[in-house]
Amino acid sequence: MRYPKGLIAAMSTPFFEDETLNEEELRHQVDRLIAAGVHGIFVLGTNGENYTMEFAEKVKIMEIVINQAKHRIPVFVGTGCVTTKETLALSKKAQELGADYLSIISPWFAQNTQEGLYEHFATVAKEVNLPIVIYNMPARTGINIDYKTMEKLAKLKNIVGIKDSSCNFDNMQRYLEIPGRTFSVLSGNDSLILPCLLAGGQGGISGLSNVIPERMVSIVNEYEKGNIEEAWRLQRSVRPLRDCMQMANPNSVVKCAAAMLGQKLGPCRAPFNINDESLKQAIKKSLELVQD
């Protein structure tokens, strides 16, 4: 199995103003991210607004991205849904279309248990042949994937990593400290990519790659060269943008910031789009600071 590493772009899905898919721009963004040097593309994640889409639209988007990437870099497809049945169906479709990895988030809204999580992920893992990155985002799903659950899941041959978006470094450490760990640990928080690497992790899945992809890639590249001081400078430089992401729907902040730099990602689908002039000014200021 292939173990993910490096800087993986959590790709936004471009829409027109009427919220329909902008296929031409979607293809352009794939090429733009590859040209920036990212080590993988993660489509239909949180930044991709998968929570606003029906099954058929998700299939169309994954098909476009896989086709455009043409195996130049790995494509990770977010196939997690609320039910195991739908997650499995979407995962099998991604496999059929040629995805390199699946990323599966915990089911959300309804209360769950650690055993329920294990059974959900294990059922999918046993039915597909692709490597799977588990996606931990307790703020949105209502449950944290315990390190003991992840240790148990990692015994399944195609569970190859976890994206930790808990924003809790100690939680990430618990994954990293699992004895004989056989899976990658990736930061889902742009502010913790370098700390994850320094603690023994394998990289990050970055929403800010939609805005400043070269800079996010450089954090990993400078670390790998042993230029730790420069890697820290780059890591700390994204703080102003990260602060803006706490002020509204982060996906909408990312799209707004990218638009200010000339990218045509369009709006987030309502009701998650930004229409706040003070927030836009804060984003503009943060971009000026990041680019200094």
Q: Looking at residue 2, what is its pLDDT?
A: 81
Q: Looking at residue 184, what is its pLDDT?
A: 98
- Tell me the residue ranges of DSSP E strands in the chain: 6-10, 40-43, 75-78, 101-105, 132-136, 159-164, 184-187, 203-206
Tell me, yes or no, if 135 is annotated catalytic.
Answer: yes
The neighbouring-strand residues paired with 10 are 42
> Strand 75-78 and strand 40-43: pairing?
parallel
Q: Looking at residue 104, what is its pLDDT?
A: 98
**CA 117 from centroid of its chain's CA atoms:** 20
Q: Looking at residue 290, what is its pLDDT?
A: 80
Tell me, yes or no, if 101 is annotated catalytic.
Answer: no
- Helices 55-69, 84-97: axis angle to 10 degrees equals 30
The active-site residue, picked from 5, 58, 101, 163, is 163
Q: Which of 194, 201, 208, 111 is nearest to 163 (CA)?
A: 201
3-state secondary structure string across 92-124: HHHHHHCCCEEEEECCCCCCCCHHHHHHHHHHH
Torsion angle, alpha carbons of 105, 13, 60, 153, to 10: -20
- Check residue 247 and report its DSSP letter: S
Other residues' Cβ atoms within 10 Å of the Cβ of residue 10: 29
Segment-wise mean pLDDT, segments of 10 residues, the chain, 292 residues: 92 97 98 98 96 97 98 97 98 98 96 97 97 97 97 97 96 97 97 97 98 97 98 96 89 94 95 88 89 65
Q: Is the pTM of this model over 0.85?
A: yes
Share of the chain above pLDDT 70, in %: 99
Q: Looking at residue 131, what is its pLDDT?
A: 98
The active-site residue, picked from 135, 175, 255, 280, is 135
Q: Which pLDDT tens digit goes with each residue over 140-176?
A: 999 999 999 999 999 999 999 999 999 999 999 999 9
Contacts of 45 by beta carbon, 8 Å cutoff, 6+ apart: 10, 11, 76, 78, 103, 105, 135, 205
Q: Looking at residue 276, what is its pLDDT?
A: 86
Helix, strand, coil % in the chain, rounded to nearest 5: 50, 15, 35
Q: Which pLDDT tens digit goes with each residue over 72-89?
A: 999 999 999 999 999 999
- Tell me the residue ranges of DSSP E strands in 179-231: 184-187, 203-206
Q: Does domain 6-236 have CATH number 3.90.1150.10?
A: no
Q: Cα separation of 5 and 234, whole Å?
A: 19
Q: Looking at residue 274, what is its pLDDT?
A: 83
